[in-house]
Amino acid sequence: MPLSNESDKNYVLCHHCDLLSELPVIANKHKAVCPRCHTRLARGHTDMKRDTIIYSLCSLTMLCLACCFIFIDIRVIGIVNNLNLIQLAHILYQDQYLSLTLLFLILVLVIPFLSLLIQLALCSHLPLSKYRQRSLLKLYHQLEPWSMPEIFMAGVLVSFVKLINYGDVGLGKAFILFCLFIVFYLKSYIIFGKRDIWNEIDKSNFANTELVSGTMGIDQNIRLCLCCHAILPADLTRCPRCKSKGQLRESRKIQWTFALLFTSLILYIPANLYGVMNTVFLGSQSSSTILDGVLYMWQEGDYPVALVIFSASVIIPVLKIVALSWLCYFVVAVKHKSDKDCFKMNKIYNMVEFIGRWSMIDVFVVSIVASLIRNGEMMAVYPYIGVIFFASVVIVTMIASHKYDPRLIWDKVN
């Protein structure tokens, strides 16, 4: 049990640099950041539960309505093709692209839908047991990085430029509804306070020694639970609050990161060699790679779109592999570290975490274009094997960044 004079203090361990801080009372709509690495530790919101319920309900309503109406339509050679969100998945499934179908359904529809339901369940007055609340929060923690409705919308906007070259493009009611869904979804995500819900389940401080703020947890023989962010004794392997297992430091995650980066590098080669789209025009077929699409956009004068696709599909995957490799090297090989060097490495890690998902734009662009351009052998577009390899690269690099433990950056600072 924590000492009596510690019970009224609100301590938090930074999940990026392992610095122990004592949180003050946070004003409404303000946030507390780590004084060492500037990572956000907590956010104050007076009516967190009420506002989360409002925005979650609005978001769920917009999502359900968006699935009922036409999302986008295109007129190609006198034939109009309409598409709603469910039809997009159905067309891909009919063409036996089960992997693309699952990616779209899970990342764009299912995970956001489940996340919103979890937010509603935890913020409403439902008679949930602590066991049920704990299970929902752990599921929410696992789903959080894989929600991509805003990235899908970016892919839709990029695909407009390609679709205009095939015919006349029109927007349906579902497009506006889906935009509203994204706005409400992001707002509910920002407001939702997981820390507050965890603190209602149980206390956050399980340390059995006196804590000293401004000192690293590893130096005080305490560790952070990476699931619920509770403070635990270093030798306690299972968190009493969320029941997750963990260790003071999991150095094996560096090996996992290296292995996943090597895997992504292997997958990246066929992702660029094979075509991502196969176009049928008057009976003849031609495939285009990622770079072919970039060059085509550039030659057509669509420079902003060409730069977006080139950045998301070429620069970001390579940059992420190089950056994560550099971060692993810094942890393993660099013996003399300064706070300044560690701060720079931490910024690189934050950048990798932020931009990694956006490479999925090209996968969504291919899915949208292939679902809309269908006119028999006269003109049709189909996904090709390269897009599967590319989606695998994005997923594997995302897993690699999640496996990486940024606290290792700050260990043994001189």
Same domain (yes/no): 137, 263: yes
pTM: 0.88
* Domains identified in the chain, total number: 2
Note whether 219 and 244 are within 8 A (CB).
no
What's the pLDDT tens digit per position in 322-365?
A: 999 999 999 888 888 888 889 999 999 998 888 888 888 888 98
Residue ranges making up the domain that contains 127: 50-190+249-410
Contact 412, 251 (CB under 8 A): no
One domain for residues 290 and 326: yes
- DSSP-assigned letter for residue 7: T
Residue 302 falls inside a structural domain: yes
Q: Do 56 and 34 sit in the same domain of this protein?
A: no
Token digits of residue 72:
């986008």
The pLDDT tens digits for 193-232 are 899 999 999 998 998 888 998 899 999 999 999 999 999 9
In a shared domain, residues 176 and 298: yes
pLDDT in tens, 117-128: 999 999 998 889
My answer on whether 277 and 158 are in the same domain is yes
Cα diameter, the chain: 80
> Looking at residues 53-58, what average pLDDT do you find?
96
Q: Which residue has the higher pLDDT, 263 or 412?
A: 263
| Whether 164 and 296 share a structural domain | yes
Asked if residue 261 and residue 186 are part of one domain, the reply reads yes
Sign of the CA dihedral running 345, 350, 356, 358: negative
Q: Is residue 391 part of a domain?
A: yes
Separation of alpha carbons 118 and 21, rounded Å: 29
> In this structure, is residue 197 part of a structural domain?
no
Amino acid (one-letter) located at 330: F
Strand partners, 32: 42
Give the whole-number percent of the chain exceeding pLDDT 90.
41
In a domain, 117, yes or no: yes
Q: Is there a domain that residue 168 lies in?
A: yes
Residue at 195 is within a domain: no
- 198 part of a folded domain: no
User: pLDDT tens, 364-389?
Assistant: 988 888 887 776 556 677 788 888 99
* Whether 310 and 402 share a structural domain: yes
How much is the CA Rg of the chain, to the nearest whole Å? 24
Cα-to-chain-centroid distance, residue 46: 27
313 shares a domain with 265: yes
H/E stretch holding 228 reads: none
